[in-house]
Amino acid sequence: MGERLCIDDRIQVARYLTPLDREELEILGQLLGLSYATVTNHKNSSLAVYRSSILKAWLLKRDEVNEKGGPSWITLEAALRDELLGHAGIADEINRDHCKRVSLNSKASSKATLQT
């Protein structure tokens, strides 16, 4: 389901999520498969620490993350588009910056396979 993300991608992903407040980060975490206990664990910390803790848990595949598609740009984009969040603008940025590239890379490798 798209380019897989890992813990090393945390800063890059966090840059897209700076507009989200605590409540939105909590909802995002749950949409991505994190439990309520996980998403509320650091809720009283600074917003940056809270955002980082949610991303870390997601990128490390805690709770039910794999059942929700695992950490990828596509799953993040879909969660941001969910009606509970409604952050289509951020989702569009992610799609433009990452998802189209994945699609183009897939087409290029399919074309190369057909030519061999």
Print the domain residue range for 41.
7-115
Digit-coded pLDDT (tens) for 78-109: 999 999 999 999 999 999 999 765 444 444 44
Task: Please give the tally of structural domains in the chain.
Answer: 1
How much is the pLDDT for 116? 45
The answer to whether position 108 is within a domain reads: yes
Cα torsion through 101, 106, 107, 111, rounded to 10: 140
Q: Looking at the domain assignment, is residue 1 inside a domain? A: no
Residue 115 pLDDT > 50: no
Find the angle CA(75)-CA(80)-CA(83) to the nearest 5 degrees.
Answer: 120
Is 42 inside any structural domain? yes
User: Which pTM does this prediction carry?
Assistant: 0.83
Domain assignment of residue 2, yes or no: no
The mean pLDDT of 42-56, rounded to a whole number, is 96
Instruction: For residue range 8-36, list pLDDT tens digits in order.
Output: 999 999 999 999 999 999 999 999 999 99
